[in-house]
Amino acid sequence: MYAFLTLTRRELTAHFVSLTGYVVIAGVQLLLGQSFWTLLDALNGKPFDMPVTEKFFDTGFFWLVLLLVAPLITMRSYAQERASGTFETLMTTPIGEVQVVLAKFCGALAFFLIAWLPAAAYPFLLRHYAEGMAPVDAGPVAATLLGIALLGGFYMALGCFASSLTRSQIVAAMTTFALGLGLFLLGYLSQLRPPEPGWQAQLLTHLSMLEHMRDFSRGVVDTRHVFFYLSLTAFFLFLTLRVLESRRWK
Amino acid sequence: MSAEHMIEVENLTKRYAGRTAVEGLSFTVSRGEIVGFLGPNGAGKSTTMRILSGYLAASSGTARVGGFDVLTQSEEVRRRIGYMPENNPLHEDMRVREYLKFRARLKGLSGARCRDRVDTVLGQFGLDEVSNKLITHLSKGFRQRVGIADALVHEPELIILDEPTIGLDPHQIRTVRQLIKDLGRKHTVLISSHILPEVEVTCSRILILHEGRILAADTPDDLQQRMAGRTQIIAEIAAPEPDLRHCWEAMAEVEQFDVSAAEGEFYRCALTPRAGMDLRPQIYELVKERGWRLRELTRSRHTLEDIFVHVTSRDREEEN
């Protein structure tokens, strides 16, 4: 447990001693600021009857954040250590493989959430400056945060898995981006074509991350969605664990 | 579980796709020994060390460290070893003290013990002056010391160092050698090298590896002894060639000889004495008696270099 915390801390702080970490944070702020600005613009225009959180995620910048930032955060986790050889020194300490997988995942997720942290000011800014115009309910905000954490967790797990497969950070980042974009577009299909009744449409709707996130931003916490992301995250972490163990297969 | 053996390796084989790195390796290392793996690149030294440290699994055979199986009781084994891989990989973005603290914690040291041990190894390896420097700014010699300090920080019973002196300058090599010798007082040490003087100086026992197999295993002195049968005496004498040949034939101690013309009237005689005897006084007496002229009289002692070349080339001949 002690070793696990040490490694998690190392994974997290490593982002803050590299330039990439700050570039990621700056990039996230730029995209989220853009979202916020669009939201403010909308509040000044025609009245709308959706929660502000839904309007915020309607802008699409959120997806850019997820798709672009996940590869950047996770690409180093295993690929860099394999390339520099420190993976060998890490795996010959008494720490177990499960602990390594979890620590690297937690470190990446923690950094992802920290990059989001400044956005926590948005509801307070709105409440302060746009009082009376648009009520900011705590419910949808909390549900949205949960959604961000769940989707973030899934993308981090995906990225860790891609990173564990290679010694090249570029390859890891591109694999994560391709897999992430593929999964995202899969859900987009149901958006492009009005769902015709039938099992295909049902399946697509069920897989659609856009739909899931819309629910979260409306303040709807659907246990199916929660289970969907938790199980996918666990699945990719399990795959990563198998990759780590594979070096000791006979 | 045997108490006196630190490492027991039996019939260890490791196959990579299409290539056998280690084949049927068996050896034991007693507690307190400093053992050196010697072999050319690709002989299987690193692979064996990786298996012992629990990083890789063997294809077949067993290896035990301190009585624990490296595959099934990997965690127990990893607790007991300090391992420095080839090229000494370190986290470049960390500071020396920070790195050693991080490593000590990963190895299960906590609180005061962690702080104590980090301070101890920093002092022990002369790292105090660089303890707050980034590892990326360190010289090669300091990096090597950090690597060895890391291998030692949790006071392991067995220390495995893969090529600990590679890429160092002669002065740094001497420092690292002394460090390794000092370690041997308290720990069991296994080092690898492809440079012969390296293991000759530091190790109490040498295992010569070639193409995944052990060709010879002995103390440096015994390896010398074993080669004694191949000692040669070289004498360059100015004398009529038939006389020389006649003399060597008559001398009972000479097992084999070879006479070849050198410059002028000198002949170069290479004599193989029986049972490694030293014939030099006799040859000198002979030359003095006959009134010949002598310009060289030497006995060629075999360095480990020769032993190594001999052992590995014999292996190649057998294959052909």
Tens of pLDDT, residues B181-199: 888 888 999 999 887 777 8
Q: Give the model's pLDDT for residue A230.
A: 95
Cα–Cα dist B25/B42, whole Å: 15
* β B158-162/B19-30 pair status: unpaired
The band of B83, judged by pLDDT with boundaries at 50, 70 and 90, is very high
* For B153, nearest residue in chain A (alpha carbons): A93
Name B270's Cβ contacts closer than 8 Å, sequence gap at least 6.
B232, B233, B234, B257, B258, B260
CB B44 within 8 A of CB B57: no
- Which of B257, B208, B212 lies closest to B237, judged by CA? B257
Orientation of helix A223-246 relative to helix A138-164, angle to 10°? 20
Q: Which residues in chain A touch residue B90, judged by CB atoms under 8 angstroms apart?
A: 86, 89
Q: Give the model's pLDDT for residue B227.
A: 62
CB A88 within 8 A of CB B55: yes
Q: Give the model's pLDDT for residue A111.
A: 96
CB B185 within 8 A of CB B155: no
Q: Give the model's pLDDT for residue B278.
A: 78
Q: Which residues in chain B touch residue A249, judged by CB atoms under 8 angstroms apart?
A: 57
Q: Averaged over B71-77, what is the pLDDT?
A: 91
Question: Is the CB of B136 inside 8 Å of chain A's CB atoms?
Answer: no
Cα–Cα dist A90/A88, whole Å: 5
Neighbours of A115 (CB within 10 A): 23
A-to-B residue pairs, Cβ atoms closer than 8 angstroms: 71
Q: How far is B167 from chain A (nearest CA, A)?
A: 17
Q: Give the model's pLDDT for residue B42.
A: 81
The band of B251, judged by pLDDT with boundaries at 50, 70 and 90, is confident
Q: How far is A29 from chain B (nearest CA, A)?
A: 25
Q: Which residues in chain B touch residue A6, judged by CB atoms under 8 angstroms apart?
A: 102, 105-106
Give the tokens for residue B21: 């790195």
Question: Is the CB of B251 inside 8 Å of chain A's CB atoms?
Answer: no
Give the tokens for residue B270: 């290479």
Cα–Cα dist A76/A20, whole Å: 10
Tens of pLDDT, residues B35-55: 999 888 888 899 999 999 999
Amino acid identity for residue A49 in this structure: D
Regarding predicted confidence, which is higher, B225 or A64? A64
Strand partners, B68: B65
Q: Averaged over B158-179, what is the pLDDT?
A: 87
| Parent domain of A18 | 2-249
- A16: helix, strand or coil: helix
Cα-based distances in Å from B208 to A146, B46, B164, B295 = 60, 13, 17, 38
CB B198 within 8 A of CB B36: yes
Nearest to B107 among A86, A88, A93 (CB): A93
Is it the case that residue B5 has pLDDT exceeding 80?
yes
Give the tokens for residue B259: 């006479």
Give the tokens for residue B247: 């003399």
Q: Averaged over B220-238, what is the pLDDT?
A: 76
Q: How far is A91 from chain B (nearest CA, A)?
A: 6
Orientation of helix A223-246 relative to helix A97-116, angle to 10°? 130
Lowest-confidence pick of A172-181, B216-225, B305-314: B305-314
- Which of B213, B194, B210 lies closest to B304, judged by CA? B194
Q: Give the model's pLDDT for residue B1.
A: 44
Q: Which residues in chain A touch residue B57, judged by CB atoms under 8 angstroms apart?
A: 247-250
- B206: part of which helix (H) or strand (E)? strand B205-210
- Largest Cα separation within chain B, whole Å, is 83
Contact B107 A94 (CB under 8 A): yes
Give the tokens for residue A84: 């520099």
Number of folded domains that form chain A: 1
CB A13 within 8 A of CB A40: no
**What does the angle CA B255 – CA B200 – CA B168 come to, to the nearest 5 degrees?**
135
- Which of A80, A84, A83, A72 lies closest to A115, judged by CA? A72
Cα–Cα dist A243/B200, whole Å: 40
Q: How far is B55 from chain A (nearest CA, A)?
A: 6
* β B5-16/B19-30 pair status: antiparallel
Q: Which residues in chain B touch residue A250, judged by CB atoms under 8 angstroms apart?
A: 57-60
The DSSP code sequence of chain B is --SSEEEEEEEEEEEETTEEEEEEEEEEEETT-EEEEE--TTSSHHHHHHHHTTSS--SEEEEEETTEETTTTHHHHHHHEEEE-TT----TTSBHHHHHHHHHHHTT--HHHHHHHHHHHHHHTT-GGGTTSBGGGS-HHHHHHHHHHHHHTT--SEEEEESTTTT--HHHHHHHHHHHHHHHHHSEEEEEES-HHHHHHH-SEEEEEETTEEEEEE-HHHHHHHTGGG-EEEEEEES-HHHHHHHHHH-TTEEEEEEEE-STTEEEEEEEEGGG---HHHHHHHHHHHT-EEEEEEEEPPPHHHHHHHHHHHHHHHH-
Token pair 């979202």 in the structure block, residue: A35
**Residue A209 CA from chain centroid, whole number:** 12
- Which of A110, A113, A107, A137 lies closest to A123, judged by CA? A137
Contact A96 B79 (CB under 8 A): no
Q: Give the model's pLDDT for residue B315.
A: 55
Q: Averaged over B120-130, what is the pLDDT?
A: 91
Contact B79 A94 (CB under 8 A): yes
Neighbours of B23 (CB within 10 A): 18
For every one of its 250 residues, what pLDDT tens digit does chain A have, with 9 covering 90 and above?
Answer: 788 999 999 999 999 998 989 999 999 999 988 888 888 888 777 777 777 778 777 777 888 888 999 999 999 999 999 999 999 999 999 998 999 999 999 999 999 999 999 888 888 888 777 666 556 778 888 888 899 999 999 999 999 999 999 999 999 999 999 999 998 888 777 666 665 677 777 777 777 887 888 888 888 888 888 999 999 999 999 999 999 999 888 6
Cα–Cα dist A204/B199, whole Å: 66
- Which of A137, A136, A130, A144 lies closest to A45, judged by CA? A130
pTM listed for this prediction: 0.84
Amino acid identity for residue B123 in this structure: G
Contact A85 B87 (CB under 8 A): yes
Nearest to B56 among A14, A95, A248 (CB): A248
The band of B320, judged by pLDDT with boundaries at 50, 70 and 90, is very low
Q: How far is B116 from chain A (nearest CA, A)?
A: 18
Contact A95 B89 (CB under 8 A): no
Q: Which residues in chain B touch residue A92, judged by CB atoms under 8 angstroms apart?
A: 53-55, 78, 81, 83, 85
Q: Give the model's pLDDT for residue A249.
A: 80
Contact A92 B81 (CB under 8 A): yes
**A interface test, pick of B106, B160, B162, B190 with most A CB neighbours within 10 Å:** B106
Strand partners, B191: B36, B161
Q: Which residues in chain B touch residue A84, judged by CB atoms under 8 angstroms apart?
A: 89, 91-92
- Which of B194, B205, B212, B163 lies closest to B58, judged by CA? B212
Q: Give the model's pLDDT for residue B215.
A: 80
